[in-house]
Structure 1
């Protein structure tokens, strides 16, 4: 299907699913689209976001509106970004490069997964402001060579789940912890990181996991 024809058929984000189902091999589509067991957590996450809506305003001057936001040493064009997606290359040739390139062109934050199928050095050259999500395990002696490689590649923001590990990441300019879901966790983890990311991906792993939007008010408090 040509990009022009696809553009006529994709009228909303949900339309991508039908197009992907028709194009991808069934096991790969199932991996990308599916969640744990009966997909209940997946549906709960979507339902949580459906509870929020925009409120329109009339007779309001919008000529001075500015969506730019400064975050971890850089100003971005929009307060939206892309979370890490591992094994993206399964569903698209050089999918990781396509993703970080799109974020670069849109000037929004993007986190590359440590499970990327593209070498981190190539990712950094393609989109220098990409954040890197590292899977840091073991003792410091075992993971410090990886941190050195991340720094040498040019990444300046490191994302990790274990806040105490970030003390060893002095080479990076900023550090963020992802997966925080409630206020006490955010408060504790801020002690070791520059930011906390309320990222919700456990619907792929845990039945009846709360939707991402469900814990936004708690994180803000």
Structure 2
């Protein structure tokens, strides 16, 4: 019988990687158990919120002992999908796209960028970090060959909507968008709009005057 994955609110999902980083550090230090209060002190998140977030994953601590660090790390890794490999393609291999393709750290979190796509004839047919750069027009056929399910988008903002739709038409299941354009497409496609510029704006605004 199939089991349904637990529904976890997006704010909780955004906090889970912080918990994972915390417990992974504790596990490396040889700590066996940790309480939600101890995690709270390190992350500045209310301990009751941490306990609630972890309860969505059916992870429960022991009274007066806390959570077993190795078990908690394993449960978080399993839910977040960081231990599974997800093939992705890089749409646009300019400065940002090239940097993301060269970032081997992403593979530690399950993102395997297997190829890039661009319209620039100077880069099409070359390799970046050992990974091929294909012509944008060849996307649909290559996505099937590469068994890619995610597209990372770092194209000029004026091309973002067109590129996103082409990725969806090619069978891509999720889009990680780094352009300032807020992408919307089929409800069946997972979209994560990551605006570096919005984060910069907030940081500048919060800096002491």
Bucket of the pairwise TM-score, normalised by the shorter protein: 0.3 to 0.5
Computing the radius of gyration from Cα coordinates, the structure with the larger value is: 2
Q: Which has the higher strand share?
A: 2
When normalised by structure 2's length, the TM-score is 0.37
**Using CA pairs below 8 Å that are at least 6 residues apart, which structure has the higher relative contact order?**
1
